[in-house]
Structure 1
Amino acid sequence: MRYLGRFLLTFLLILPALAEAHGPTRQKLTLSVDVAAAPDAVWAVIGNFQDMSWHPAVFSTAGKGGNAVDATRVLTLEEAGGPTISEVLYKYDAAKMSYSYRITEVDVNVLPVTNYSSHLTVTANAGGGSHIEWKGAFYRGYPNNDPPANLNDEAALAAVGAVYKAGLDALEKKFGK
């Protein structure tokens, strides 16, 4: 009984330290926009995994595999020779107008995330037009405790949010509200 009491006392003293020692939590973000165009018209623009020319931050896309699972693409940002993001497609459903992909390689100074996955979906609105949803899940760019400000949860959420917003704003401009 004496050993049990010592164990419980030790456990209760260590417990607060264990609570402080956790690593990062998975962040989730969903942004969406409604546009005037029919879902088929929107999907014709964004449904090709190998073509992300609709996004204003993407200078070029190079890849292989088309829209098949395990297809890859490399996005060059801003200009020729600009930073790159490598991605792999892991789910594609043309009938449901949806695909899912993961980042396989990115410099955290370009996009401050790790273990990033994302889903892009187009659905019909009841009153006409389309609903475009872009959602992702990821960890911050710094996996340990006490991250620098540019690699913390807030920086990761802000950066991914800016990417999604720029893309959705461009689609809204193209297809109308």
Structure 2
Amino acid sequence: MGTCYNKIEINSSADKVWNTVSNFHDMSWAPDVIASLSKVGEKGGHEVGAKRVLNEAIHETLIEIDPQRRTFSYSIDDGPGPVSKDAVSNYKGVVKVTESDNGCLVEWSSTFESENDNEVSEFCDPIYMALLNALKKAAEH
């Protein structure tokens, strides 16, 4: 099983950061990373089963959300190259926001099954770090 793990400290309240990141249908806080987000289906951005397409390429579904614990998880259902449905299975991404001494810690991790775990990690890790940096920029300004 492959894994990705990225984290960032943000000098802002955990509640503020959670409110920014928790809507599955709103990634306006990351305009340099996510050029387009298309909502698919009728589910709202805080409802299990919500679907989206990022940058017209990555198809994802919200599979769990827990506002009290400030965490959500999602699947990647299809995408380019190493995250295509033929290349990876059981992809589960998890975003978690926790209080810390200087504000909050945001962790973005994933587990998946693939013939080439390194390819998936090399594809996803830079995206997750870019998203975390965008979240930090949005939350601290």
Verify the 8 A CA contact 1:139 1:156 in the aligned structure 2: no
| CA distance in structure 1 between the partners assigned to 2:49 and 2:18 by the alignment | 20
What amino acid does structure 2 have at the position aligned with 1:90? Answer: I
Verify the 8 A CA contact 2:9 2:102 in the aligned structure 1: no
Say yes or no: does 1:30 pair with 2:38: no
Deviation at 1:75, TM superposition (A): 1.2
Deviation at 1:72, TM superposition (A): 1.0
Identify which of 109, 115, 123 aligns with 1:135: 109
Verify the 8 A CA contact 1:30 1:134 in the aligned structure 2: yes
SS at match of 1:54: coil
Equivalent pairs: percent with the same residue? 29
What amino acid does structure 2 have at the position aligned with 1:134? Answer: W
SS at match of 1:50: coil
- Which residue in the other structure is 2:123 paired with? 159
Q: Please give the residue correspondences for 1:34-73 in structure 2 after superposition, counting only pairs within 5 Å.
A: 34-55=9-30, 56-63=32-39, 64-66=42-44, 67-73=46-52
Deviation at 1:91, TM superposition (A): 0.4
Identify which of 58, 68, 78 aligns with 1:105: 78
Q: Render the CA deviation track for 1:12-44: whole Å, top value 9, x for unaligned.
A: xxxxxxxxxxxxxx1112111111000111112
Q: Structure 1: which 5+ runs fail to align?
A: 1-25, 77-82, 144-151
> What stretches of structure 1 move > 4 A for 4+ residues in a row?
none
Q: Please give the residue correspondences for 1:83-122 in structure 2 after superposition, counting only pairs within 5 Å.
A: 83-108=56-81, 111=83, 114-115=88-89, 116-122=91-97
TM-score (norm 1): 0.68
| CA distance in structure 2 between the partners assigned to 1:121 and 1:165 by the alignment | 14
Deviation at 1:134, TM superposition (A): 0.4
Say yes or no: does 1:74 pair with 2:50: no
What amino acid does structure 1 have at the position aligned with 2:95? Answer: L
- Structure 1 or 2: larger helix share? 1
Verify the 8 A CA contact 2:92 2:112 in the aligned structure 1: yes
Deviation at 1:170, TM superposition (A): 1.4
SS at match of 1:58: coil
The higher-RCO structure (CA 8 Å, 6+ apart) is: 2
Deviation at 1:71, TM superposition (A): 1.3
What amino acid does structure 1 have at the position aligned with 2:111? Answer: A
Deviation at 1:132, TM superposition (A): 0.3
Higher Rg of the two aligned structures: 1
